[in-house]
Structure 1
Amino acid sequence: MTLLAIVLVLLSAVIHASWNLLGKRNTGSGVAFSLAASGSAALLLSPFLLWYLFTIGWGTLSPAFWQLLLISGICQLIYLVGLLVAYQHGDIGLIYPIARALPVLMVGGITRWLGLSLDPLQWLGFILITLGCLIVPLSSFRQLSRAAYCNLGVGWALIAALGTTGYSVVDKAAIALLTEQVHAIMSDPLSALFYLGMQFWAMVLPLLLSIAVYAGMKRARGQHTAILAQTWQLRRNATIAGSMMAMTYGLVLFAMTMTDNVSLIVALRQFSIVVGLVMGTLFLKEKWYVTRGVGVAAILGGILLTL
């Protein structure tokens, strides 16, 4: 990875942990908050999206790109809803590390399967990051057992991790295809910003559709209206969170244009776990245990080995 790519991903990690703090404070309205945050980001970026498409030509992008974009949006939606629902069943110090770190090994395995090489030190780094995240949620090493992780919050965190794995791999393929098709017209940073905005729309539209379908199946139109009303009530905090989401992943997408192996970016993004733990302790008054200190050390050591 280039030095610029490393700096961009570290900065995105700090912003990512910050917007998760807002998500934790709105745990009673996971779906509405997800819709409000992603919808606000999509609307803010819409003028740029129209300019970009007009400049490159509406028919320039291939069907394969739009298919990847749709898949990515669905994976992002799985991650976002999974994470916010998980927060309803556990504190940010437990949910956040598991949801963010499990994709390290998952994406590493997928990229290896796709033919990209990783040296033994990088795999050791991936393992250390994952082990650190299994230790971080514990208040004592005596709790290091299967029972500590068999609960509903961790289950939803695993769903969020699957979403992260999916969009990380798909986004790397999509952004590579996009820059290849428009490199003669648009710079990589502008293409990354375009993809970011389109991805938010790819999240919002399926989310609206799923809410409508669920309400129709349950014959609960009033519930559908209530979610939309709650979305509007959350617009202020959600707009802030949506802007932070856009900044976070926009930086990551730009870094992807400079890096061949996306698993390295996914590993480096786990610095946000450390930031999230510190924020949870300082602002949400969550307890700090010795186990969290050991876990943080393992995560940081794993990141250094990975790089």
Structure 2
Amino acid sequence: MEVAAVIIVVFSALLHAGWNILGKSNQGSGSAFFLASGSAAALLLTPYLFWYSMTLGIEKIPNAFWMLVFLSGIFQIVYLIGLGMAYKQADIGAIYPMARALPVLMVGFGTVLIGYELSVNQWLGFVLITIGCLFVPLKSFRDLRFKAYLNLGVLWALIAAIGTTGYSIIDKEALLLLDPLSTSAITNKHTAVFYLGVQFWAIVVPLGLWLLVTNQKIEFDSAWVMRKRATAAGIMMAATYGLVLFAMTITENVSLVVALRQVSIIFGVVMGIYFLKEKWHMTRGVGVVLIITGLVTSLI
């Protein structure tokens, strides 16, 4: 993995932990918060989408790309709703690490299934990261038993992890479809931002339609009330994943990008303690050490 990609992903991880703090501190509906934040990001990127489409020629984009965008949007909604529901059940210091690290093994298996290869070191690192996540939600080592994870917070974190796994693999494949269209005027950087904008629309349109169909119109009012904080989160979300998408264009195996993104777990735990006054437990310390060890091992 190139040094530039490592730096980009680590910086994006810091931003990712930051908008999760905003999401956790939000006291309203998770659906309303992500509708507001996603809409803000989508609207801000819309002028760029027009420029990219006119410069490249939208007719050159294959139909398969749009299908992948649609599927990615669905997985993004699963992730965002799962994360929002999980934060209603438990501390960010417990939920955030699980939602971020569980996809490491899932994406690893997924990329192998579609033809990529992983080394022994990478698998070992992925396993250490996942084990570290088992410790982070615990208050005591005595709680390390199966029933400690039988709660709604962990269930929703698992659902969020499934969403992350889905969109991570799909996004890499979608970007590969656009790669042959690159020119001197349209580079990988431009394509990453274009895909980011399209993806946000793929999130907010289905989410908005679902809220209308299920007669949850009050969520739109809630989204408007929280628009200022949600807009800040939306900008951070866009910057975060825009950097990740660019890192994907210069990294062959997306599972390495997903693994490195888990450094955000460290940022999330620290921010949860500092900003939200959440408690620190020895188990969280052990979990963090295992996660760091796993990150280093997988990238060697």
TM-score of the pair, normalised by structure 1: 0.96
Secondary structure of the structure 1 residue equivalent to 2:243 = helix
Distance in 2 of aligned mates of 1:32 and 1:165: 23
Show the counterpart of 1:198. 198
Distance in 1 of aligned mates of 2:226 and 2:27: 12
Secondary structure of the structure 2 residue equivalent to 1:59 = helix
Show the counterpart of 1:264. 256
Show the counterpart of 2:219. 227
Distance in 2 of aligned mates of 1:58 and 1:105: 36
Q: Which amino acid aligns with 2:239?
A: M
Show the counterpart of 1:279. 271
Show the counterpart of 1:168. 168
Show the counterpart of 2:243. 251
How far does residue 212 in structure 1 lie from its aligned partner after superposition?
1.1
* % same residue: 57
Show the counterpart of 1:220. none
Distance in 1 of aligned mates of 2:273 and 2:255: 29
Distance in 2 of aligned mates of 1:129 and 1:27: 30
Equivalent residues of 1:27, 1:84 under 8 A apart: no
Q: Which amino acid aligns with 1:255?
A: A
Show the counterpart of 2:10. 10
Distance in 2 of aligned mates of 1:158 and 1:235: 28
Distance in 2 of aligned mates of 1:152 and 1:252: 29
Distance in 2 of aligned mates of 1:32 and 1:241: 13
Q: Does residue 22 in structure 1 map to residue 22 in structure 2?
A: yes
Alpha-carbon displacement from aligned partner over 1:105-164 (angstroms, at most 9, x marks no partner): 000001111221111111110000000011011111000011111011111111100000
Show the counterpart of 1:95. 95
Match of 1:300 among 286, 289, 292: 292
Secondary structure of the structure 2 residue equivalent to 1:270 = helix
How far does residue 58 in structure 1 lie from its aligned partner after superposition?
2.3
Match of 2:234 among 242, 250, 273: 242
Secondary structure of the structure 1 residue equivalent to 2:272 = helix
Alpha-carbon displacement from aligned partner over 1:36-56 (angstroms, at most 9, x marks no partner): 000000000000111110111
How far does residue 27 in structure 1 lie from its aligned partner after superposition?
4.1
Structure 1 segments (4+ residues) deviating >2 Å: 181-185
Q: Which segments of 5 or more consecutive residues in structure 1 lack a partner in the other structure? A: 216-222
TM-score of the pair, normalised by structure 2: 0.98
Q: Which amino acid aligns with 2:58?
A: W
Secondary structure of the structure 2 residue equivalent to 1:89 = coil
Equivalent residues of 2:28, 2:222 under 8 A apart: no
Alpha-carbon displacement from aligned partner over 1:227-275 (angstroms, at most 9, x marks no partner): 1111111110000000000000000000001111000000000000110
Equivalent residues of 2:168, 2:254 under 8 A apart: yes
Secondary structure of the structure 1 residue equivalent to 2:278 = coil
Q: Which amino acid aligns with 1:89?
A: Q
Distance in 1 of aligned mates of 2:268 and 2:27: 16
Equivalent residues of 1:28, 1:88 under 8 A apart: no
Q: Which amino acid aligns with 2:78?
A: I
